[in-house]
Structure formats: C-alpha cells, structure tokens
C-alpha cells in the first residue's frame, strides 16, 4: 500500500494542502495554498478546495486516494457534514466528500476522513513533532482562540473521565468567564489594557515591549502563571507530564514559560513544556495521519 496521503487544513480565509509521506513523516512536494473567505458561496468554496487538492494529487508519481481534512467545529466528523453557523455558513448540512468527489477528476475513487482542526494539530505533533516520544501529551494551540488536543499513544482522546467533554478546554470556566477569553490574543490584550489603559493590535505588540515596559512583562508573567494554574488540574487528570504550546502566542513562549514552570513546581508538578515543532504544517500532517 502507498505511504502517501493528502493533508488539508481548512482555515477561515484559505485552504492549504500538501502531499505527505506517512512513513517518513514529512511533506513531499510543494504546499498548495488557496485564499478564499469562509463566507464564500458553497459552490465557490467546494471548487476552490477541489482545485487545491487536485494540484496536490498531480504532484504524486503514483495514484493517491486518501485525503484527510481538518475543520473547526461544530462539525460531524464521522459523516463529513458541517454544523457551523459562524464559519463556512453556506456549506452547513452538505456532505463535503460528495461535493469534492464531483469536482475532482477521478474523484469517485477518493477516500475522505475528517478531524477537528485542534485535534489535527495535536496529531501532527504527536506523530511527527515535539511529542513523538511522549506516551501522553496535552497540546494547546493559543492564538485568536484556545484549542486543545489530549493525545495518548498517538491517538486523540475526546471522551472519558480523563479529559473534559470532547477534549475541549476553550469553554471551561476561568476568571468569571471562559478560558478562550483569557488564553488567547484578546486575553493578552485585555490584560495589557487593564494595566496601561492602552489598546494594542496584537500579542506581538505586547511582546515587542517586554524589554522596555514593566507592564508588558507583567502581562506575560501573569499569562504564564494563570495558564499553569488552569492547566495543572487538566494535566493531573490526564496523568500527563508533557505540555506542547503552539499557535501565534506560543512564538513568545520564552516570555512566560518560566512563570509556568514555577507555578507547576509550587503544586508538586514536573511538567515538560515544549514549543511545537511543526508550525503551520502540523495540522496538515495530523489530518493525513487519519490514514496512518
């Protein structure tokens, strides 16, 4: 059987796919990105995705029939049907695989599987990235939102007593709101605004001020302490000692990991905190592992 599969990452403003050698754990050929807004009509979206995937298929020297795709939720991943209103509104209720098979030459032979975008990110890192040596890992994607993946023996765990419902942490309560409001770009900006009264555009702006402004340092240090306080019971419940940080905010991990380590140590936890290794490729690699 071929070791090749296509991994597809569906975002809010683009779709990106790549031909992946599952045995080697790496992308072969060139990544294909197509810019298209999630609000586009269904026919335009499906055609753009089909053309994008088709460009990857033509790079293979042998027939490739396996395509793994990641989508944000809510989404029926078993059936490949979007249930979202806030994203991709015009494809709600449609079978993605059927729509794509009709638009890709030779598409009747294609096999599709679907996975949550945060889970795909976690799978990529656990199979091929920073968590490949760990039996268990909690993978966090921190950026505009707060995604999570609980990985055990290279499989995402989404139910059972060891993890929160659906393996999701974004909606868990924290500081009078939910975690997504605090452990995200807007959380960083809100902390900074509270300390300074200043409104900045992004977390990188706060990071750029770290060396010169005490309030910027306080922002990142508080973020690290609170992130550790929030995740400590999750790690204990999952019997996990490896934490991976990904997403745009993790690019500034050096500014807050020391505070995380101090906070964990204070409650007797020895947690190996690592930045994710695969960057933007993690989700595509993870989606392809649905066929591994």
| DSSP H or E stretch at residue 118 | helix 117-128
pLDDT digits (tens, 9 = 90+) for 60-106: 999 999 999 999 888 999 999 999 998 999 999 999 999 999 999 99
Q: Would you place residue 22 in the very low, low, confident or very high pLDDT band (cuts 50, 70, 90)? A: very high
Which whole number is the average pLDDT over 260-284?
A: 96
Count other Cβ atoms within 10 Å, centred on residue 24: 10
What single DSSP character describes residue 77? T
| Average pLDDT over the chain, rounded to an integer | 95
State the Cα–Cα distance between residues 85 and 89, nearest whole angstrom. Answer: 5
State the Cα–Cα distance between residues 49 and 28, nearest whole angstrom. Answer: 19
The tokens for 61 are 């020297």
**Domains in the chain: boundaries:** 4-119+282-291, 132-276
Q: Beta strands 111-116 and 66-71: pairing type? A: parallel
pLDDT digits (tens, 9 = 90+) for 210-247: 999 999 999 999 999 999 999 999 999 999 999 999 99
SS3 call for 60: coil
Task: Name the least confident of 6-10, 12-16, 173-177.
Answer: 12-16
**CA 74 and chain centroid, separation:** 15
State the Cα–Cα distance between residues 164 and 150, nearest whole angstrom. Answer: 10
4-119+282-291 and 132-276 share one fold: yes
Which whole number is the average pLDDT over 109-136?
A: 94
Residue 286 pLDDT: 97
**CA 93 and chain centroid, separation:** 23
274 contacts 242 by C-beta, under 8 angstroms:
yes
Percentage of the chain surpassing pLDDT 70? 100
What single DSSP character describes residue 24? T
pTM summary value: 0.89
pLDDT at 12 over 90: no
Hey, what long-range contacts does 166-174 have (CB within 8 A, 24 or more apart)?
Answer: 166/73, 167/119, 168/118, 169/140, 169/230, 169/231, 169/234, 170/145, 170/146, 172/230, 174/226, 174/230
Distance in angstroms between the alpha carbons of the first and the last residue of the chain: 11
Residue 139 pairs in a beta bridge with 149, 244
Q: Would you place residue 2 in the very low, low, confident or very high pLDDT band (cuts 50, 70, 90)? A: confident
| DSSP H or E stretch at residue 242 | strand 242-246
Residue 11 pLDDT: 87
**CA 153 and chain centroid, separation:** 18
What single DSSP character describes residue 132? T
pLDDT digits (tens, 9 = 90+) for 34-49: 999 999 999 999 999 9
Q: Which residue has the tokens 């995937």?
A: 53
**4-119+282-291 CATH pick, 3.30.1700.10, 3.30.420.40, 3.30.565.10, 3.90.180.10:** 3.30.420.40
- Domain 132-276 = CATH 3.40.50.970: no
State the Cα–Cα distance between residues 87 and 39, nearest whole angstrom. Answer: 7
Residue 67 pLDDT: 98
Residue 254 pLDDT: 97
Q: Would you place residue 181 in the very low, low, confident or very high pLDDT band (cuts 50, 70, 90)? A: very high
Q: Would you place residue 1 in the very low, low, confident or very high pLDDT band (cuts 50, 70, 90)? A: low
């Amino acid at each position: 059987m071929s070791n090749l599969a296509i991994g597809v990452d569906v975002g809010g403003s683009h779709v990106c796919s790549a031909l992946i050698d599952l045995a080697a754990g790496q992308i072969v050929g060139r990544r294909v990105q197509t810019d298209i807004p999630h609000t586009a009509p269904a026919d335009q979206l499906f055609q753009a995705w089909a053309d994008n995937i088709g460009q990857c298929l033509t790079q293979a020297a042998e027939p490739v029939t396996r395509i793994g795709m990641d989508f944000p939720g809510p989404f029926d991943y078993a059936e490949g049907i979007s249930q979202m209103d806030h994203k991709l509104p015009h494809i709600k209720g449609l079978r993605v695989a059927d729509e794509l098979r009709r638009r890709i030459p030779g598409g009747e032979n294609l096999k599709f599987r679907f996975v949550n975008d945060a889970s795909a990110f976690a799978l990529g890192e656990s199979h091929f990235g920073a968590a490949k040596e760990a039996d268990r890992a909690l993978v966090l994607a921190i950026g505009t939102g707060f995604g999570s993946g609980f990985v055990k023996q290279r499989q995402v765990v989404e139910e059972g007593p060891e993890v929160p419902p659906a393996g999701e942490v974004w909606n868990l309560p924290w500081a009078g709101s939910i975690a997504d409001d605090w452990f995200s770009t807007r959380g960083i900006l809100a902390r900074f605004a509270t300390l300074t009264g200043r409104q900045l555009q992004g977390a990188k702006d706060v990071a750029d001020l770290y060396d010169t402004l005490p309030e910027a340092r306080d922002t990142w240090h508080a973020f690290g302490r609170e992130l550790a306080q929030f995740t400590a019971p999750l790690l204990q419940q999952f019997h996990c000692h490896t934490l991976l940080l990904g997403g745009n905010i993790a690019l500034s991990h050096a500014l807050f990991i020391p505070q995380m380590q101090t906070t964990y140590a204070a409650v007797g936890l020895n947690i190996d905190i690592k930045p994710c290794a695969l960057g933007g490729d993690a989700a595509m690699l993870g989606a392809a592992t649905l066929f591994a």
